[in-house]
Amino acid sequence: MKMICYSGYVVNSTDMDKIGSLVYGSLVNRVLADIFSMVHDINHIYSLTDFDEDGQADSIGVSLVGVTIVTDRQSREDNYALSGNLEMAEEYLTRFSLYNFSNVCAAIALTNRPFKDRVGNRVNGVTYRVDPNNKYFKFYGICAKPFQYLGPRYKNVLVTTAKNTKSLKRIERTATIAHELGHMFGAYHDDPMDPLCSPDTVNGFYIMHTHAINGYLFNNNKFSPCSKRRMSKVLQLRSDCLKEEKTVCGNGIVEEGEECDCGTVDTCDTIDKCCTPSDVPLTSLDRPCSIRSSAGYLCTPSTGTCCTLNCKYKPRGEVCGYSSECRKTPTCTGISRFCMIGEALKDGTLCANGHQSCKQGECSQSLCFAKGLRGQ
């Protein structure tokens, strides 16, 4: 059974042209398509994470419950908390927390505004830190209870911003939201002095690195062991927060029984021509949220890196992912959309700059074992 953190997104109409600038179509559809794509990628990251480190992913995902677009007229009203030229990310976050988000696991504001932190540094995102040992724990993080101070405030919120005066690329926004959600799940920044959780290797840093990551390197889409330990504790304490996954064709998330999900006709034309929209006529030869096989399509790149933009399988041997310190570069088979995991290197191969060794394709074994030693 997959358990989901259902999230709500809020977009200011004044920011929409910048947020949707990297995709095509009408403005609203561009923004929706962009959000669908980001949620899909974030869900993929969380779904593959083994939080309790028992060797298996824990089937915990992130999905979309709704998108609110604040119109120009609404943003000019006197009671709109997010109006004005706010420069501090924390101030925007505080005002965002005034709205009622009791019906979602997390609320995300897409602002595209260049914010600073308290010491004047530019930031890509901001949220409240969660500490399970703090007496106010219940007021922070996913599914937080309302904090009563001059009225109810909701601390299950995060804000993404622009980078200086430039819009973040979609992959950067995805990395930012995954990072800030990580804080809401209980993760802290990885200690830069810890070689296990901040490895200075070709694989890059993990999601919760102190500084913003670009999302392109192997570790950029993974949580460090340090993060997973903290997040696992919060998940245990907030076990009633997540909801059982329900299949809803048209929400942009691929769920049980679906081959793909690109939303409606309007958004599918923008982001995924290989997939059948949720609102196709009853006379359609393809059922909603399935591959458009009637057009000769075999797959969609939204659910497999070995699928081309023309909805065909990539040829055998084509590189489809990143190599890691403990695995060879993965390649396509030519008969599937899925990227096969790279072959594991020999157990005992050194990794993490010589601080650990490989075991069954993962950099997880002590050097003592690699050298045939045993600790007391």
Which residues contribute to the annotated binding site for Zn(2+)? Answer: 179, 183, 189
> Is the CB of residue 90 less than 8 Å from the CB of residue 128?
no
Distance CA 309, CA 123 (A): 34
Within the chain, residue ranges assigned H as helices are 13-19, 27-47, 72-76, 89-96, 170-184, 225-237, 265-271, 367-370
- Catalytic residue at 180? yes
> Is the CB of residue 111 less than 8 Å from the CB of residue 159?
yes
> Is the CB of residue 86 less than 8 Å from the CB of residue 123?
no
Compute, in degrees rounded to 10, the torsion defined by CA atoms 7, 8, 11, 17: 50
Distance CA 1, CA 365 (A): 30
Known binding positions: 179, 183, 189
Q: Which of 172, 180, 245, 255 is catalytic?
A: 180
Distance CA 209, CA 275 (A): 35
Q: What is the total residue count of the chain?
A: 376
| Tokens at 337, concatenated | 């959309």
Distance CA 47, CA 2 (A): 9
Q: Return the half-sphere exposure (C-beta side, CA atoms, 13 A cut-off) of residue 9.
A: 23
Which residues of 81-187 form beta strands (DSSP E)? 106-110, 115-116, 122-123, 125-127, 147-148, 152-153, 157-160
> Is the CB of residue 300 less than 8 Å from the CB of residue 313?
no
Q: Comparing C-alpha atoms, which of 251, 228, 215, 190 is closest to residue 48?
A: 228
| Tokens at 15, concatenated | 């920011």
Residues labelled catalytic: 180
